[in-house]
Amino acid sequence: MKILVTGAAGFIGSHLSEKLLEEGHTVVGVDNFDPFYDRSLKEANLETSKKNERFSFYENDICDAAFWAGFSESGIDAVIHMAAKAGVRPSMQQPLAYNMANIIGTNHVLEFAKTRKIPKVVFASSSSVYGVNKNLPWSTDDKDLQPISVYAFSKQSGEKLCELYHNYFGVKIVALRFFTVIGPRQRPDLAINKFVKAILNGDKVTLFGTGSTFRDYTFVGDVVKGIIGALHFDNANFEIFNIGNTHTVSLLELVHIIEDLVGNKADIEFQPEQQGDVPYTWSNIEKSTRLLGYEPSTDIRDGIAQFIQWLKARA
C-alpha cells in the first residue's frame, strides 16, 4: 500500500512510519515541524525512515490549502492522520491555534481524502474526549463525553467531522482514541520525559494535585500495532476504538517506578491541579481486541525502561 502519514516526524508518527516501511509499504510523510518542541528532535525521529527509498517527505502545514491543491502524490491507498497541536495545558492558552490545527487541519485532510477518493482514513483522536466521565473504564459505547480542555474539544470535533465525511461523502474512517503513550521519543512536555530527566539530574519533580490521579499508559509499539490493525479493518461504517492498556497507574506510583529504574530518589514538590487536566483515564479495549486484534503486551515498567535507554543513548 501507499500510505500518507501526517505528523510523520512526531513521537507516534515516526514509529508508525518505520513500522509501515518495515512491512513493505510506501510511506508519504507530511509534517510542519511545529515549534511546540525542538525541531532537532523531530528531525532525529525521521532519520531511519529517510534512509528508506520507499519514504518521501514534505515539510508543510496541513492547514495550508495551497499545499493540498498542489499535492502531486498519486495512488495513495490510505491516510493516517496523526498531525495535531498536542498538549492539554497549552491549548487553554492558545485556543485559536489548537482549533485551527486540529479542526481546520483535519477538515483539509478529509477534503483531500474525499476529493482523491482515498479508500481509508485513520484519524488519531484522544482519550481526553471522555473528560470527566465517571463511567470507568471508558467505553466507546458511552456517549457521555465531557471534554474539559480546548485540546479535548478539538479532538471531539475532529471525530464529528470524520463521522460527517463518512455519512455524507462515503469516506471510510476509523477514529482511534489514544491513551497516554509512552516509550522512546516521547514528547519532552510529557510527564515521564520530565520526571526521568529530573530524577536523573537530582532536580525537583513537580506533581500537580496530590499524586493520586491515575492514567492508562500505553507503549508506543502497542499503539502502532493498533493503528495498523485499524488500517486493515474492513468495515464500511465509521468506527471509533480505544487504544489503551486497560491498567492504570497513579502519579505517585509512576514516580516510584522511575526512582527504582533510575536508582535515585525523587525530590517531589506538590503544586495545585492544572486547568484542563483530567483526574483519571482508563480504557475498555474489548471492542479493539475483538475487531482489530489489538492486544497490548508491554507493561509500564518495561516501557519506561526502554525510554530511559533511548534517552541515555542520546546524551
Residues labelled catalytic:
151
Place of cell 470527566: 132
Burial class (CB in 10 A: 0-12, 13-18, 19+), 248: buried
Task: Determine the residue type at 22.
Answer: E
270 forms bridges with which residues in the sheet?
207
Q: Give the Å distances, CA to CA, from 197 to 175, 251, 259, 266.
A: 33, 16, 11, 11
Contact status, residue 139 vs residue 123, Cβ threshold 8 Å: no
Residue 13 CA to residue 41 CA, distance in Å, equals 13
Alpha carbon distances (Å) from 65 to 27, 60, 71, 108, 128: 21, 10, 10, 7, 28
CB atoms within 10 A of CB 37: 17
- CA angle, 297 as apex, 313 and 291 as ends, to 5°? 130
User: Do 214 and 179 form a contact (C-beta atoms < 8 A)?
Assistant: no
How far is the C-alpha of 150 from the C-alpha of 96, rounded, in Å? 9
Decide: 230 and 174 in contact? Cβ < 8 Å: yes
Give one DSSP letter per residue of 236-250, joined into a string. Answer: SS-EEEEE--S-EEE
Identity of residue 206? T
Cell of 17: 512510519
